[in-house]
Structure 1
C-alpha cells in the first residue's frame, strides 16, 4: 500500500526515542533482560581515582586520573566485586544502595583526601550513571638542605657547579634579605655569604628568616626541592611560601610572630619535612586483580 502520510510517519519516528526516555525516567516496570534488551530500571556506578596534588580534596583540571587502583563494590546482588579504575558496574537495580571501598597501597605514604567518608554509600539512579571520585596524594621528604649545608664545602661546590657562582649570587641579591642590623644584604662573594649565614640569629627575626629563605631558594634552584610541592602546614606550595617570606621582609606591618611562623616553616622544609609530591609516587597492592 502506498504511503500517503510521510509527514505522519516521520513524526512517529521522532517520537519513539522520546517515548523510550520517558519510560526510563518514569521507572517503567522491569523488562525481562535478554541479549538485546536493557532493563530501564537499571543504572550504572562508575568509580574514578585522581591524584590530589594539592591535597584539597577536589580534582583540579591539571590533576591526573590514576588507573589500575582497586575498588570494591558491595550491595544487592553484588558481594565484594573488585575492579580497577576506572571501575564500572552496570545493570544495577535502580534505587538500590551500594558501598564503594578503595584499597590502599602497600606503601604507607599514601593518604586519602576524598571523599570525606569511607566507604562511600551510592544509590543507583535508573537509566543514569552515578560517578564517584576518590582522591589520594602521597608524601615524601622535601629534599631540603639546611643553611649549614650551604655554608660548608658541599654547599660551596654546589653553588659553583656551573663553573661560577654568579647566577646564584645574583639570585640571592634579588631577594629582600637583611642582616643583623636590618640592612639589605646582597652577597657578592661566597665568603661574605657564608659569614652571613653562620651569623644569623633570632634576635632579629627578619635576619633569621632571611637565612632560611636564602637556603630554600638555593634548594629549589639547585634541584634539591621541587617548588611545586605542597606543604600541608601552610596549605601552600613551596614556591608560594618563598614568595610570602620574601614579601614579609619588606612589609612594615609584618609582626615578629608572622616572621617567626614563616621562618619555622622554611626551617622545617630545609630539614627535609614531608611534602605532598606534585606527581604520583610508586604504588603497589597486596592483591593482584
Structure 2
C-alpha cells in the first residue's frame, strides 16, 4: 500500500467537525497501512507542547508562555503519510487513536525569520533535535514531547555617549521634577570617578561631565559609566531588564546587580588589580547591550512559515 492516504470526499452538507474527523481517521489509517502495524491496538495518544523559552534554558518553566499557530508534523518510518497541525490555544498539537509501536517521528516547522532559535529538545551536546525520531507509543499511554523556541531582538540600549549629549539631557529632564528621579537611581548605585571616589550626582550636568571624563585607567570608573547608562536605559523604557542576554548567561537585571556588587567590592581597579578582569567583563557585557546587542525577546517575535 506504500503509505498512500485515500481520503473520501465529504459531502458539503456534512459539518466541518465531521469532515475533520474523517480526514484525521484517514491520516491515521495512512500511518498504519502498509508497514506491518495494521493489527495493533489503536489506543495511543501523542501530544506536542510548544512553548516560548524566554530564558533560553531549554526547560518549560512556570513563567513560559505557549505559542499558538506553530506547525507540527507527525510521521512514521516506512510511510509517506504525514499529518500537520497548528498548535491550538493551549500551545498543543494532539494525535489520538494511533497504533502502538515504534518508528514515529514528530517535528516542528522553523520560521522564515532567522532570529528564531530552537532550545528544546536538544541532544547531549546541546544541539537542537528536529525532528524527534524513533518515538515509541505504548498502548493505553499518552506520549508528550515539548518543543521550545526563543527569538533574539536588539536590546534597545543607548550608549553613555547618548546620555552625555543633548538628546540624553532632554530625556533626563523630561519629567516635571526634572532629572531628580533618574539622579536618585544613580545615587543608589556604587558609582565612582576616575580616582575611585563615590559619584553621587545632583544635576544632569554633573552626570554628563562625569561620563565624558571616565576612561579605563580605572576600570571601576569605566564600568560605572556603562552601569549608569544601562540603569537610565531601563528607567526610560529603552531596555527591559527581565530579558536574557546569552553571552552573560542571565538577565539584564542580574547583570546590573553583579556590576553594582563588584563596584561595592573594589572602587579602584588599575592594571594588575585582581578585580579588574571581572569588572572589564561586566563592562563589556553592558557596553554591548548599551549599543543594542541582541537579547532574548521578552515575548515571541513575528514568525512566518
Q: Do residues 249 (structure 1) and 263 (structure 2) align?
A: yes
Question: What's the CA shift for 1:40?
Answer: 4.7
Counterpart pick for 1:183 among 183, 193, 197: 197
Matched with 2:149 is 136
Matched with 2:11 is none
Matched with 2:55 is 54
Matched with 1:63 is 64
Aligned ranges 1:1-289 → 2 under 5 Å: 40=41, 42-75=43-76, 79-85=81-87, 86-116=92-122, 117-121=129-133, 122-163=135-176, 164-252=178-266, 255-285=275-305
Range moving further from structure 2, 96-105 or 227-236: 96-105
Cα RMSD between the aligned structures?
A: 1.4
SS in 2 for 1:247: helix
State TM-score, norm by structure 1: 0.83
Question: What's the CA shift for 1:263?
Answer: 0.2
Matched with 1:3 is none
State TM-score, norm by structure 2: 0.78
* 1:171-194 CA-partner distances (Å, limit 9, x unpaired): 101100000000100011111111
Aligned equivalents of 1:67 and 1:41: distance in 2? 28
SS in 2 for 1:249: helix
Contact 2:41 2:99 in 1 (8 A): no
Contact 1:248 1:254 in 2 (8 A): no
Question: What's the CA shift for 1:80?
Answer: 2.3
Paired positions, count:
247
Aligned equivalents of 1:102 and 1:181: distance in 2? 56
* 1:33-53 CA-partner distances (Å, limit 9, x unpaired): xxxxxx755311111100000
Contact 2:157 2:292 in 1 (8 A): yes
* 1:13-37 CA-partner distances (Å, limit 9, x unpaired): xxxxxxxxxxxxxxxxxxxxxxxxx
Question: What's the CA shift for 1:78?
Answer: 6.2
Aligned equivalents of 2:264 and 2:81: distance in 1? 62
Matched with 2:7 is none
Contact 1:98 1:123 in 2 (8 A): yes
SS in 2 for 1:57: coil
Higher-Rg structure is: 1
Structure 1 gaps of 5+ residues are 1-38
Aligned equivalents of 1:182 and 1:196: distance in 2? 13
Aligned equivalents of 2:61 and 2:80: distance in 1? 32
